[in-house]
Amino acid sequence: MANANQNFYELYRSTSIGQTLADTLDELISSRRIEPQLAMRVMQNFDQNIAAVLGEKVKARLSFKGHLDTYRFCDEVWTFIIKDVTFKMENSYQEKADRVKIVACQSKEKVEK
């Protein structure tokens, strides 16, 4: 179980469900139905739980092939920009994209040696 004081990445806030949650919380704050502190706690719970659910429930696999255009490593976060990408799903379904951005973060606390 995660530590209550542990911070989680805010990567999923930019998804459609994360944006919808943020918009709803903004409306509730504007109408004075909840306090901003409560909205912040809700978003922190969202960050923690979306990562946990995706990690536990999603079992699908895919592979991809493309041309690495840009990569960077900053603040323990890798960012890759890949062009002319072909995704291949487990069921042999393929999809193409002109450009894909992949953000990779460490999922667990570092073990101190």
Query: 87-97: string of b/e by CB count within 10 Å (b at 16+)?
Result: eeeeeeeeeee
What does the pLDDT read at residue 4?
47
The residue with tokens 């960077």 is 72
What does the pLDDT read at residue 60?
86
Contact yes or no for 63/97 (Cβ under 8 A): no
CATH architecture assigned to 11-57: Orthogonal Bundle (1.10)
CA distance 22 to 14: 9
**2: confidence class by pLDDT, cuts 50, 70, 90:** very low
Q: Where do you find CATH 2.30.18.10 in the chain?
A: 62-105
- Homologous superfamily of 62-105 in CATH? Transcription factor IIA (TFIIA), beta-barrel domain (2.30.18.10)
The 10 Å Cβ neighbour count of residue 46 is 19
CA distance 18 to 11: 9
Q: What's the pLDDT tens digit per position in 33-69?
A: 999 999 999 999 999 999 888 888 988 889 999 999 9
